[in-house]
Structure 1
Amino acid sequence: MSILEPALAQKFIEKTAKNLEFNINIMNNQGIIIASKDASRIGDFHEVASSMLNGTMDTGVVDENQKFLGTKPGVNMFIDYKHKHVGVICVTGNPENVKAFAGLVKTSMEAMLEYELQMEGERRRKNKAEQFLYYVLFNETVDLAVAGKMAEGLELKRDILRVCILIKYDAQYQPRKIIEALTKAEGHSYQDIITVARNDDIILFKALSGDLTESIQGYKELLDAYIQSFVKRLPEGYQEDKICFFVGSLQMDIHHFKESFIHAQELGLRIKADNGTYYFNEHVLDYYRSLATIKAYDNAFNVYDMLLSEDDQIQLIEIVDALYKNNYNVVYTAKDLFIHRNTLLFRLNKLKGLLNIDPIANASDREFFNELAYYFKHK
Structure 2
Amino acid sequence: MMLVEIFKEFINVVKENQKYIIGLLNQDGYVISCSKEEYIGYKFDIKDCHADNMFYEIRVRNQDYGYIWVSGDDENLKMISSLLLDSLKTRLMYEINTSSLKQKVTKDDELIKYLLNAEHFDLNHILDLINQLGVDKNKTRVAIYIVNNEGFNAEEIVRLKLKPDSKELIYSLLDNNSLLLFKDIPDDLENTGIKRYFRKYIRSLQDWGLQSCSYLIGSMQNKLKQYIISYQNCLWLKNNVQFSIDEPLFFMDYLFEYFASKVPSDDVRNIFDFYKDRSKGIDIDELTTIANQLFINDYNITQTAEDLYLHKNTLIYKLKKYEEIFNIDIRGSFQGKVLLALIASTLSEYQRQKQVGEKV
TM-score clears 0.5: yes
Measure how far apart 1:284 and its partner are: 1.4
Is the aligned partner of 1:176 residue 2:154?
A: yes
Contact 2:279 2:325 in 1 (8 A): no
Q: TM-score, normalised by structure 1?
A: 0.76
Q: Distance in 2 between matches of 1:17 and 1:283?
A: 63
Q: CA deviation at 1:328?
A: 6.6
Equivalent residue in structure 2 for 1:123, among 98, 102, 114 = 102
Please list the CA deviations of residues 86-138 of structure 1 after superposition, one character each: whole Å capped at 9, or x if unmatched. 32111124485632322222222212221111111112112221222223225
Separation in structure 1 between the aligned mates of residue 314 and residue 82 of structure 2, nearest angstrom: 81
CA–CA distance in structure 1, aligned partners of residues 326 and 349 of structure 2: 19
Q: Deviations over 1:132-165 (max 9, x none)?
A: 2223225742211111111111111112222111
- Structure 1 residues 25 and 215: alpha-carbon distance in aligned structure 2, compared to 1, 3 A threshold: farther
Q: Identify if the C-alpha distance between structure 1 residues 257 and 29 changes in structure 2 by more than 3 Å, giving closer, same or farther.
A: farther
Query: Would you say the 8 A contact 1:75–1:102 is kept in 2?
Result: yes
* 2:212 equivalent to 1:214: no
Give 5+ residue unaligned stretches, structure 2.
351-360
Q: Distance in 1 between matches of 2:315 and 2:194?
A: 40
Partner of 2:293: 325
Q: How many residues align?
A: 340
The match for 2:173 is 196
- 1:17 paired with 2:14, answer yes
What amino acid maps onto 1:271 in structure 2?
V
- Separation in structure 2 between the aligned mates of residue 179 and residue 319 of structure 1, nearest angstrom: 41
What is the alpha-carbon distance in structure 1 between the residues aligned to residue 115 and residue 37 of structure 2? 49
Alpha-carbon RMSD: 3.5
Partner of 1:345: 320
- With over 3 angstroms needed to count, the CA separation of the structure-2 counterparts of 1:309 and 1:127, relative to structure 1, is closer
Deviations 1:201-228 (A, max 9, x none): 12122222x32x4265533212111222
Tell me: CA distance 1:369–1:293, structure 2 relative to 1, closer, same or farther (3 Å). same
| Alpha-carbon separation, structure 2, partners of 1:7 and 1:360 | 73
- The question of whether the paired residues in 2 share the 8 Å contact of 1:313 and 1:373 is answered with no
Please give the alpha-carbon distance, in whole angstroms, between the structure 2 residues aligned to 1:122 and 1:334.
47
Unaligned runs of 5+ in 1: 50-58, 64-72
Counterpart in 1 of 2:356? Answer: none
Task: Return the match for 1:27 from 22, 25, 28.
Answer: 25
CA 1:294/1:338 → structure 2, altered by over 3 Å: closer, same or farther? farther
Aligned partner of 2:277 among 310, 316, 323: 310
Per-residue CA distance 1:50-101 (angstroms, 9 max, x = gap)? xxxxxxxxx44147xxxxxxxxx61112212135543211112448563232
Distance in 1 of aligned mates of 2:132 and 2:229:
22
Contact 1:62 1:95 in 2 (8 A): no
Q: Is the 8 A contact 1:175 1:200 kept in 2?
A: no
One-letter code of the match for 2:196? E
Q: Relative to structure 1, is the Cα distance of residues 348 and 139 closer, same or farther in structure 2, using a 3 angstrom cutoff? A: closer
- Contact 1:26–1:35 (8 Å) recurs in 2: yes
2:54 aligns to what SS in structure 1?
A: strand
Structure 1 position 350, deviation (Å)? 4.4
- On the 8 A contact 2:291/2:344 being kept in 1, the answer is no
Asked if 1:297 corresponds to 2:268, the answer is yes
- Tell me, in whole angstroms, the C-alpha distance in 1 between the residues paired with 2:68 and 2:98: 22
Equivalent position of 2:199 in the other structure: 224
- The partner residue of 2:49 within 55, 61, 74 is 61
Residue 263 of structure 1 deviates from its aligned partner by: 0.8
Q: Secondary structure at the match of 1:61?
A: coil
TM-score, normalised with respect to structure 2: 0.80
Counterparts in 2 of 1:324 and 1:142: CA distance versus 1, 3 Å: closer
SS in 1 for 2:244: coil
The letter for the 2-side match of 1:98 is L
Residue 336 of structure 2: aligned partner: 365
Match of 1:269 in 2: 239
Q: Tell me whether 1:132 sits opposite 2:111 in the alignment.
A: yes
Q: What does residue 284 of structure 1 align with? A: 255
Report % sequence identity. 19
Change (3 A) 1:18 1:378: same
Structure 1 residue 319: Cα displacement: 4.5
Q: Which has more radius of gyration?
A: 1
Question: What is the rounded CA distance, in whole Å, between the counterparts of 1:374 and 1:8 in structure 2?
Answer: 61
Task: Provide the rounded CA distance (Å) in 1 between the counterparts of 2:309 and 2:56.
Answer: 82
**SS of structure 2 residue aligned to 1:246:** strand
Q: Distance in 2 between matches of 1:340 and 1:10?
A: 72
**Inter-CA distance 91–320: structure 2 relative to 1 (3 Å threshold):** closer
Counterpart CA distance in 1 for 2:309 and 2:166 is: 46
Checking the alignment, whether the CA contact within 8 Å between 2:160 and 2:166 is kept in structure 1 is: no
User: Is contact 1:9–1:35 with CA below 8 Å preserved after alignment?
Assistant: yes
Is the Cα–Cα contact under 8 Å of residues 216 and 250 in structure 2 kept in the other structure? Answer: yes
